[in-house]
Structure 1
Amino acid sequence: MAKDGTVVAGRNMDWAFDMKWTLMVMPKGSQVLLSAPAKMGLPAENLSSKHAFIGVTPAILKGGNAFLEGQNSAGLGMSGNFLPGFTQYQSVTPQDKNYVSIVNLGAFTLGMFSTVKELKQELPKYKVWFDPSEVSGIPTAPWLHFVFTDRSGESIIVEFVKGEMVIYDNIANTLTNAPTYDWHLNNARNYLALSGTAPKPLTIKGKSINELGSEGAGMIGMPGDYTTPGRFIRASYLLQMAGQVKTGQEANQLIGHVLNNVDVPLGTSISTEGKATVSDNTQWVTIKDLTNNKLKIANYLNRTNYIQMDLNKLFASNKQMSWLIDGLPYSDGDLTNRLMQ
């Protein structure tokens, strides 16, 4: 949050597979599906969204749009991150009345809620479930946790652990992937000696010993790896040390600088999946101005060349629109009008 009140949130999508990531505008009144696992035979409900929103979904998913990133016309932003090994969704019982699939959680939260306060009150009333038989086309199950931020600056983390919904206040202003958020906060205590201030010279036997170089000497010990704990420490500490900027424009730039510090280039995070060798990489980046309803987005091949969108104009069109992120016309400037043609 800048001193002028502007709230900006950003995220990198670091992934190894081609998900056919698609940016979609959903107008106010779009259908939001609330359902239980089909085998339970419980009634489904189609809500009409209270808010327009824009989000990113993997087009390779069969049978629906699972929004993992987005923001709505009320200034609520959402990002879903990977939490394998720790996520256990809730179990729906025949007695339950309120439920939503993890696949539809993004559309539900962005379409129906205005603020983090409202979300904290209402979301625990719903069971969030996952049934692998009802999801196909994606390379891994959607083991996810979420960060929600609104234009007041309030932010929470939502996780599903041991079959229960867990909500944390986002005191670090950061979320990466596994482990769980409380683990990351505990791990951050190992780095309390990090400082944005260079250490003073040390005098030994009358001789002054200075640090090697004056840039960032107080940051020695900051992890530089691409693990999720390492990136959590870099992002959270950089945000804290940078302090509060004055304007929304400066906030946009600061978020961009922090995201650059956790950007993953191809070839630097290689793993073997079956017979295939894959590399995680920062497939796309978003910067969300939640106060002014602005969005900037860039893909891997255009990492420093963001497309900017005026969401007020897109939402006012009252049209559903979609574009492959890798197919957007990347160039300098605001392409809102061009995208609406």
Structure 2
Amino acid sequence: MCTRILWNTNGVATTVARCMDWAVSDEPELWYLPAGLERSGNADEDSLTWTSLHGSVVTSMWGMGTVDGLNDKGLAAHALYLDPEDVAFPAADGRPSVANAMWVQYLLDNHSTVAEAIAGIDRVRITSPLFRGLELGVHIALEDASGDSAIIEPLDGTLVVHHGREYTVMANSPTLDKQLANLRRYRPFGGELPPPGDITSADRFVRSSYFLHYLPEPENVEEAVAGVFQLIANVSVPYGAPYSTGDVYPTWWRAGADLTDRVYYFGSTRSPNIFWITLDDLADAGEVRKLDPRDPTRVGDQTAALEPATLLY
């Protein structure tokens, strides 16, 4: 049900990749959102409104919010599923609110770095409105061009922040502290167990950490991007592969970013292709643009393929 891998130790470029795993397609759309947009937290009667400070390229899910993206300062953010049994969002307390489906967009619109985002993390209250009758638990991964990283989890009514370059992998439940404790059972992280091979969140976390540890130094940016895409493919879930419960949550798409050069990458698992959007080429766009990332013919630089559009959320 999703994995994120950050490569911030190579000397070429800070790169990241994530996959989206779910029972059905989240009907992704890829947007360019310029600075200067009036936005809402879409939460409740206390919803925050803001004007975006930064342009971003983002992936939306079900036309209801942003699940992944990169802004023009090289800050990237990713929402991954966290079991609602593990999640407890803050109760109403007078702070302006932002729905969890808008959390990624709020962070990208208003911050340039991970440190800046974490410094303001308590200015808003994150809420979890029901979607199609379901409560969707999420946690957030952030990273920036410097290689700084943070993982934010809404637990026991507060936002628990793990901030530091060492937080390079995130999966789903259990919470990050338990994932890290489990990781120490495996080599070369303190234990003697070999890397596991199941599709569970815990196994994906260990396997991601293991192969990231051994990635060789890239010779160029292309290899730095390809490296994280190779790793995210290793922990992606093939169509039809069941969990022990019998439930099937395949990988529908993978996204990545070169944070150093501000390039956003996307690949549907219904296509063998990868395409990308170059944010610097959109600096003067000044309008909302969109493309369908599920088009199997897309390959290479698709910046010019973005078309003017009306934002749906």
- Per the normalisation by structure 1, the TM-score is 0.80
Residue aligned with 1:260, SS: helix
- 2:58 aligned residue: 55
Cα distance per residue 1:90-148 (max 9 Å; x no partner): 1112xx2333221221211011111001011001232212233xxx44x7422000100
- 1:293 aligned residue: 262
Distance 1:234 1:18 in 2: 25
Whether 1:339 and 2:306 are equivalent positions in the alignment is yes
Kindly tell me: are residues 28 and 222 of structure 1, through their superposed partners in 2, closer, same or farther at Cα, counting changes over 3 Å?
Answer: same
Is the Cα contact below 8 Å between 2:187 and 2:193 reproduced in 1? no
Instruction: Please state how far the C-alpha of 1:340 moved relative to its aligned partner.
Output: 4.6
Distance 1:80 1:36 in 2: 17
Task: Give the alignment partner of residue 6 of structure 1, picking from 13, 29, 47.
Answer: 13
Give 1:64-143 correspondences, 5 Å limit.
65-84=64-83, 85-93=85-93, 96-132=94-130, 136-137=131-132, 140-143=134-137
Distance 1:6 1:68 in 2: 23
- 2:295 aligned residue: 327
Instruction: Please state how far the C-alpha of 1:78 moved relative to its aligned partner.
Output: 0.7
Task: Give the alignment partner of residue 317 of structure 1, picking from 268, 271, 285.
Answer: 285
Q: Which moved further from structure 2: 309-318 or 13-22?
A: 309-318
Distance 1:261 1:153 in 2: 22
- 1:28 aligned residue: 35
- Runs of 5+ in structure 2 lacking a partner? 1-7, 309-313
Give 1:166-315 correspondences, 5 Å limit.
166-169=160-163, 171-193=166-188, 221-269=194-242, 279-302=248-271, 304-315=272-283
Cα distance per residue 1:152-198 (max 9 Å; x no partner): 10000000001111000252410001110111000001003579xxx
Instruction: Please state how far the C-alpha of 1:246 moved relative to its aligned partner.
Output: 4.5
Is the Cα contact below 8 Å between 2:185 and 2:193 reproduced in 1? no
Kindly tell me: are residues 168 and 251 of structure 1, through their superposed partners in 2, closer, same or farther at Cα, counting changes over 3 Å?
Answer: same
Amino acid at match of 2:146: S
Instruction: Please state how far the C-alpha of 1:292 moved relative to its aligned partner.
Output: 0.8
Distance 2:42 2:65 in 1: 14
Residue aligned with 1:32, SS: strand
Residue aligned with 1:29, SS: coil
Instruction: Please state how far the C-alpha of 1:300 moved relative to its aligned partner.
Output: 1.3
Kindly tell me: are residues 159 and 187 of structure 1, through their superposed partners in 2, closer, same or farther at Cα, counting changes over 3 Å?
Answer: same
Distance 1:101 1:141 in 2: 12
Is the Cα contact below 8 Å between 1:32 and 1:107 reproduced in 2? no
- 1:158 aligned residue: 152
Distance 1:220 1:163 in 2: 35
Is the Cα contact below 8 Å between 1:71 and 1:77 reproduced in 2? yes
Distance 1:233 1:19 in 2: 26
Kindly tell me: are residues 193 and 6 of structure 1, through their superposed partners in 2, closer, same or farther at Cα, counting changes over 3 Å?
Answer: closer
Amino acid at match of 2:120: E
Amino acid at match of 2:159: M
Instruction: Please state how far the C-alpha of 1:328 moved relative to its aligned partner.
Output: 5.8
Distance 1:267 1:185 in 2: 29
Is the Cα contact below 8 Å between 2:95 and 2:123 reproduced in 1? no
Amino acid at match of 1:128: I
Q: What percentage of residue pairs aligned between the two structures are identical?
A: 23
- 1:211 aligned residue: none
Distance 2:99 2:288 in 1: 22
Instruction: Please state how far the C-alpha of 1:230 moved relative to its aligned partner.
Output: 0.3
Distance 2:306 2:296 in 1: 9
Distance 2:250 2:207 in 1: 17
- Runs of 5+ in structure 1 lacking a partner? 196-218
Distance 1:36 1:222 in 2: 41
Kindly tell me: are residues 192 and 308 of structure 1, through their superposed partners in 2, closer, same or farther at Cα, counting changes over 3 Å?
Answer: same
Structure (1 or 2) with the larger CA radius of gyration: 1
Distance 1:98 1:116 in 2: 21
Instruction: Please state how far the C-alpha of 1:225 moved relative to its aligned partner.
Output: 0.6
